[in-house]
Amino acid sequence: MDAWTLTSGTSVLANASSVISTATTLASDPYFQKVLASQKSLIVDNQEVIAKFILASCNEDMSELQSIVADSPELIDNLSATGITPLIYGIFFNHLPVLEFLLDHSADPDLSDTAIANYTPIMWAVYLNRLDIVKLLLNHQADPYLCPDEVNSPKKNAISLVYPEKTEMYQYFKSHNIFRDGDLSPTSEDFGDDYYNQIDNEIDDDLSNQIKLQSITGTNIIAESDLDVQEKEREKIDSYVEERTLSEDPILFALPEFDYQKLQADQYLEFDDSDIPTLLDYIFSLRTSKTGTIQHETKVPAAIVFQLLRYSHMKAESIESTEFLFDYFITRLRTVTNTKSGVFTSGGDNSNKIGQGQQSQSQQTGDIVLLSYWLSVIQFLHFYLCKNGLYKNYPKFLQELVNTVQSLIATLSFSINSRLNLLIDECMLDFTSLIDVSNTLYAKDWNLFKTKKKHPNTYDDIFNMLYPPNEREMMKPSPLRFVQVLGALDYVLKLHQVDNILKSQTFSQVFYCINCTIFNRIISQSKYCSRGKAIQIRLNISTVEDWLRGHNFKIQAPDSDSGLKSLLPADYNSSFLINLLQAPKGSAKDANDPHFLSFYYTSLFHIGKLQLQPTIELLQWLQCMSTLRDEDSLVGTINQFDSLNYYQIVKTMTKLYKYEVEEVKIPKQLVNFMKRLQAEQGENQVGNSKSHYMTQTSFLSKELYIYLNPNFVFPVALPTLQELINNYGSGLGGVRIYRAKKYQPSIPIDVLDDVEELLAKNKSDRDRTFEQQEYNEDGEEDYDEAGHSEAEADTEENDGISQGTDGISKAHSSNNVVHNDDKAESNTESKADVKPFKSDSLFKEVQLPSSLAHRTWGDDDIDANPW
């Protein structure tokens, strides 16, 4: 008995997961105590075959099991002995081979017990948090939705026993879409008063399961209110799971909370002005030199810069040093990302230069990973400056960050647009999936040699259309290749944890550029201005709308409307801030205008649809233009357009539209009516429009208000402090403690070691340089004093030489020797007091010449300089 208890306890300890992690916890469970009691009663009286069968299941005696099942297979689902099936015994004692054997011999995976809690086997497996057993039961058709007691507990099933703290189990059920609407968590009466057991398990199906392909009108099937509810429920579950996961991180658990108001030890970096270039070199090398998670941890560079600014402002109290460090960092960032202030390099100008080669195109486009990385760094630096209140002392920092964010978003958008320009013609404008469009005959074309494509009329052709495309088909130009570029941008922004408000602005700018490019291509070429071609292009654009539905999200607007004004000093005029989005004026039209902040607090689908609206309206006009017959229908049609102006409508009617064979032309009186309307109200309509145009000038004409400007850059908005706290801080009520620690400006240990090593090396170099300078200055002073004494001695010697007698000359020679000896003695005596000059070795030994050197005057020209 003791041996069996030790063995089974060890097995339970080895296989239990995070919730039931020790044998002590399992042994204290009341349900497990009932199982042990029933097992002991069988040991006392084990004469019956059913008792031997159950004990063999408990002890994992496979030979005994095989012999009993061979003789009495009806005992597999027998409940007469204890009210518990052998299958449930095997689940309690975690004997996977026993379970596989019983299930292979037709054991019922849905037969519940009658002695403990009336649970099915899969309910016991979920309760004990044994994922491998759950997988085995599901493979043998176990029903996780089965409720054994429909009368007393109508909603008690295996789904209701899954809690978010059971991380692996919860993720398995979620990833396999086992959850469904209406599944409720168990009450606290069933499992004690544990806090986490009281949280409702309100889980909906993933949003992607509700997205379906729509018609070319692209109506959103998900209402905004439903999207809000889904987002809140998903965020509630995901935030709880994230907090539970972060609480298990020992580094975050031991990390102290960052004090933004007071300067604490290990929460700032002490530096000197000469350290700034070296530190910035290290900061800008983190993305490429580091490996693993640090390579994409954008909060690390922001934390280093913030701790440097924090020391300079709060410890050194140097305004000049703080401003110099910030300006140096921004200048270096603009240089690395090629985002000069006020200058934007658009990739839209290269749309017609496809033949220049892929290498030149790659040089013209920017690195979206690099741009997204530094956009996220600026975001976290803004978060830390808001928390610390540095904007009140340095309001110009906020303006610099606004300008930098605008440059980064614009450059990122132009970089994506330059890649999409190569795909617009093949994937969006020229791609044809409708055979009737390919077979359309136009009135002004040569249709004599044109062959029509056939519809798929055989069984094999229709059957092949149901299969997904193969690799060769996927490599062909199609709208799917177009949205893959958008998927790459979405992945990069998620990788660097860019805030949703910045993400919305980035996608808004991207879709604005896409709309302008497609619109200008259509309205500049007659081959795209036909009824059939408009239907096909509209169908291709619906692929982009489907992508928007699949990646849809909505940002919750902050409660306070003060925005960034609360971050600035009270006496500072916030109207001086430029490149900022306008605050909402309370009008419903503000949500449809990308120049207002409220536009970006709508859903991503709404943003993308409105930015693509000019192109969609143009395609709708091309589809219905030739069907209009009177002025009333014409006026009713053009009044439905919010973005298309009279100049664009007149051009399509008079110059561009390509009629099909036997298509009725629009009446001339309607064309004349539109021309009069353009002349009378065209300027006012354009003045009230929110579109941005560019003038297209040719040799003979100048077109106004026709083409959209793809290079226009919208103002931007930075997330407010409330939004940043909700997304990267402790959240509402301060309950997200570990998430706040994750994103606080603490520097990882390995990065901190590198920074301290750089600072120590720079300090050592400065000390060495300072000592060398002092050493050089002292040596020069000694050298000057020695040179002055020698000059005085030479003067005395020259006076003696001027007497002109040989004896005096000999005396001078002897005196000179004595003088040199005295000078050598004096130098030897003062050597201990004065530091030696590093070049004094040149003068320690003097070798006199063996002969005199004199000038031979007759050898050179008489005009030569004698000196």
Boundaries of every domain in the chain: 2-203, 748-798
The C-alpha atoms of residue 292 and residue 605 are separated, in whole angstroms, by 34
Give Dmax (Cα) for the chain: 146
Encoded amino acid at 484, one letter: Q
Contact status, residue 129 vs residue 21, Cβ threshold 8 Å: no
The C-alpha atoms of residue 371 and residue 488 are separated, in whole angstroms, by 13
The angle that helices 500-524 and 613-624 make with each other, rounded to 10 degrees, is 30
Q: Which two tokens stand for residue 242?
A: 């994230």
For tokens 């400006």, what's the residue?
A: 745
The C-alpha atoms of residue 217 and residue 188 are separated, in whole angstroms, by 49
Q: How far apart are the first and last CA of the chain?
A: 119
**pLDDT tens, residue by residue, 12-58:** 333 333 333 434 445 567 788 888 888 888 877 666 788 888 888 88
Q: Which two tokens stand for residue 667?
A: 């009446």
Contact status, residue 477 vs residue 425, Cβ threshold 8 Å: no
The C-alpha atoms of residue 391 and residue 433 are separated, in whole angstroms, by 56
On the CB side of 459, how many CA atoms lie within 13 Å of its CA?
Answer: 0
Contact status, residue 517 vs residue 712, Cβ threshold 8 Å: no
Compute how many other C-beta atoms are within 10 angstroms of the C-beta atom of residue 348.
Answer: 19
Q: Which two tokens stand for residue 9?
A: 């306890």
Encoded amino acid at 496, one letter: H
Contact status, residue 253 vs residue 223, Cβ threshold 8 Å: no
Closest by alpha carbon to 10, among 125, 95, 124? 95
Contact status, residue 692 vs residue 708, Cβ threshold 8 Å: yes
Residue 451 confidence (pLDDT) = 57
Going by C-beta distance under 8 Å and a sequence separation of 6 or more, which residues neighbour residue 21? none
Instruction: Please report, to the nearest 10 degrees, the dihedral formed by the alpha carbons of residues 717, 723, 728, 731 taken in order.
Output: 180
For tokens 């607090």, what's the residue?
A: 601
Contact status, residue 143 vs residue 128, Cβ threshold 8 Å: no
Q: Which CATH number fits domain 2-203: 1.25.40.20, 3.40.640.10, 3.40.190.10, 3.40.50.720?
A: 1.25.40.20
Closest by alpha carbon to 304, among 712, 713, 754, 697? 754
Closest by alpha carbon to 609, among 491, 699, 472, 512? 512
On the CB side of 433, how many CA atoms lie within 13 Å of its CA?
Answer: 18
Contact status, residue 113 vs residue 119, Cβ threshold 8 Å: yes
The C-alpha atoms of residue 651 and residue 645 are separated, in whole angstroms, by 10
Q: What angle do CA 185, 187, 193 make, to 5 degrees?
A: 120
Q: What angle do CA 190, 193, 198 make, to 5 degrees?
A: 80
Residue 364 confidence (pLDDT) = 46
Instruction: Please report, to the nearest 10 degrees, the dihedral formed by the alpha carbons of residues 803, 808, 810, 812 taken in order.
Output: -70
DSSP class of residue 77 equals: G
The C-alpha atoms of residue 164 and residue 200 are separated, in whole angstroms, by 10
Compute how many other C-beta atoms are within 10 angstroms of the C-beta atom of residue 571.
Answer: 5
On the CB side of 794, how many CA atoms lie within 13 Å of its CA?
Answer: 6
Q: Residue 599 — left, alpha, or beta (φ > 0 → left; ψ -120 to 50 → alpha)?
A: alpha
DSSP class of residue 704 equals: E
The C-alpha atoms of residue 298 and residue 296 are separated, in whole angstroms, by 6
Helix (H, G, I), strand (E, B) or coil at 279: helix
The C-alpha atoms of residue 93 and residue 58 are separated, in whole angstroms, by 6
Q: Which two tokens stand for residue 289?
A: 């030199």
Q: Which two tokens stand for residue 349?
A: 């100008």
Which alpha helices (DSSP H) does 424-499 contain, by range? 435-438, 459-465, 471-475, 479-495
DSSP class of residue 18 equals: S
DSSP string, 781-803: HHHHHHHHHHHHHHHHHHHHHTT
pTM as predicted: 0.65
The C-alpha atoms of residue 495 and residue 101 are separated, in whole angstroms, by 45
Contact status, residue 543 vs residue 482, Cβ threshold 8 Å: yes
The C-alpha atoms of residue 350 and residue 354 are separated, in whole angstroms, by 7
Q: Give bridge partners of residue 442 from the DSSP assignment.
A: 660
The C-alpha atoms of residue 238 and residue 231 are separated, in whole angstroms, by 10
Closest by alpha carbon to 413, among 548, 503, 290, 300? 503
Which alpha helices (DSSP H) does 802-862 contain, by range? 806-829
Compute how many other C-beta atoms are within 10 angstroms of the C-beta atom of residue 835.
Answer: 13
Closest by alpha carbon to 542, among 478, 485, 592? 478
Contact status, residue 336 vs residue 301, Cβ threshold 8 Å: no
Contact status, residue 531 vs residue 582, Cβ threshold 8 Å: no
The low-confidence residues of the chain, meaning pLDDT below 70, are 1-28, 45-47, 180-237, 291-292, 341-365, 435-439, 441, 444-465, 469, 473-475, 560-562, 574-575, 586-588, 698-700, 778-867
Each as own residue / partner, the long-range contacts of residues 740-743 (CB below 8 Å, 24 or more positions apart, any chain) are 740/257, 741/246, 741/252, 741/255, 741/257, 741/258, 742/246, 742/252, 743/299, 743/380, 743/383
Going by C-beta distance under 8 Å and a sequence separation of 6 or more, which residues neighbour residue 671? 650, 653, 654
Sign of CA dihedral 146, 149, 154, 155: negative
Contact status, residue 682 vs residue 696, Cβ threshold 8 Å: no
For tokens 């009495």, what's the residue?
A: 72
